[in-house]
Amino acid sequence: MKNVNWDDLHIFAHVARSGGLSGAASALAMSAPTVGRRMLALEQAVGKALFNRSRSGYALTDDGRTLLRKVQAMEASARPIEEWLSLGQERPGIRISAGTWTANFMAENFSRLWTPNDPFRICFKTTEARLDITHREIEIGIRNRPAESGNLASRPTVEVAFAPYVARNHPDPQGCEWISIGSDEAITRSARWLIAQPDIEICAWANTPSTLRDLVRAGAGKGVMPCFAGDRDPRLQRAGPPIDELAETQHLVMHNDDRHRPEVRTVIERIHALFRDHAPLCRGDRPIGATEDPNG
């Protein structure tokens, strides 16, 4: 049996079930002569006649019936593996759009959002811009306002506070100049708020929140961040209390039809639970190294 071609056993099962070459050839997208040659090769490999050939077709011999039972047992054993491989190839991706700070927070808590047994994948779309949920660019958007139009649904999560941050142990945390997102890239409320403030000195501009954080960490100046980002960073400390006018409620926004899909519903519940469990952090109730009372 060591010389048996396992593909030939697959072909053999088709010939046995169809009772001839033509039916097997059609099912396998092969020519009938090719199927016939493969069956001759299989009989030579096993050293037994598997078919009684006649004008009416191919009838199994006793040895052929014995082999068919064994091949059927092999097929049954292989089916769970085939289903597993198929699942791995076809499991859907749940696309989540979030800003840099939120995406970073979810990435650090990824085990709360996905497990190896889940029949789906998580696909992060990190951007400060709003992707189009109505036309299904994403399944779930994390936004600072509820759905406003289209066939969309939304679910509030937590209140998010913002505060100024500087590098830990900065020699002049309140007197240092500001780091800002550039005016061309100022999409978020916090970025626009800082640019609109009168009489502030900006020493450096960044085009992404990640670069802004890197500059603040390096001691270049202070920058505005959500408290769930700044208060988790051991290299940062607050340079003042939360900025009241920037407080906002975070919402999960999704297509009204897609939210009923089991995998989308599962991810929605997990994201909601993640932020619910970290509500004090998001509200700014857990200041680390605050230079003054965060409650004013």
Residue 86 has pLDDT above 70, yes or no: no
- pTM for the full model? 0.67
pLDDT for the residue numbered 174: 86
Percentage above 70 pLDDT, the chain: 92
Quickly list H helices, 207-251: 209-217, 227-230
Q: Pinpoint the alpha helices (H) of the chain.
A: 6-18, 21-28, 32-46, 62-90, 100-108, 110-113, 189-196, 209-217, 227-230, 262-277, 279-283
pLDDT tens per residue, range 135-163: 788 899 999 999 887 789 999 999 999 99
User: Quick one: pLDDT at residue 291?
Assistant: 43
Q: What are the structure tokens assigned to 77, written together? A: 């054993």
Q: Is the pLDDT of residue 22 over 50?
A: yes
Written as six digits, the tokens of 201 are 């000195």
pLDDT, residue 294, reads: 38
- Tell me, what's the pLDDT at 40? 93
If DSSP codes are grouped into helix, strand and coil, which group holds residue 287?
A: coil
Provide the pLDDT confidence category of residue 55 given band limits of 50, 70 and 90.
Answer: confident
Identify which of 46, 52, 67, 212 has the alpha carbon closest to the alpha carbon of residue 128: 212
Q: Is residue 166 a contact partner of residue 218, using CB atoms and an 8 Å limit?
A: no
pLDDT digits (tens, 9 = 90+) for 105-142: 999 999 999 999 999 999 999 998 888 888 788 899 99
Tens digits of residue pLDDT in 193-252: 999 999 899 999 999 999 999 999 999 999 999 999 999 999 999 999 999 999 999 999
Whole-number pLDDT of residue 91: 78
- Identify the pLDDT of residue 82: 65
φ/ψ region of 136 (left if φ > 0, alpha if ψ in -120 to 50, else beta) reads: left
- In order of start, what are the domains of the chain with their CATH numbers? 6-89 (1.10.10.10), 93-159+248-278 (3.40.190.10), 162-246 (3.40.190.290)
- Give the whole-angstrom CA distance, residue 10 versus residue 84: 20
What the block records as the tokens of 192 is 């626009």
Quick one: pLDDT band at residue 290, thresholds 50, 70, 90?
A: very low
> Is 254 in contact with 264 (CB distance < 8 Å)?
yes
What are the tens digits of pLDDT across the range 256-269? 888 899 999 999 99
pLDDT of residue 160: 97
How much is the pLDDT for 24? 87
Q: What pLDDT does 238 receive?
A: 95
Sheet hosting strand 152-160, strand order edge to edge: 121-126, 93-98, 140-143, 248-255, 152-160
Q: Which residues contact 14 (CB under 8 A, 6 or more apart)?
A: 23, 24, 27, 28, 35
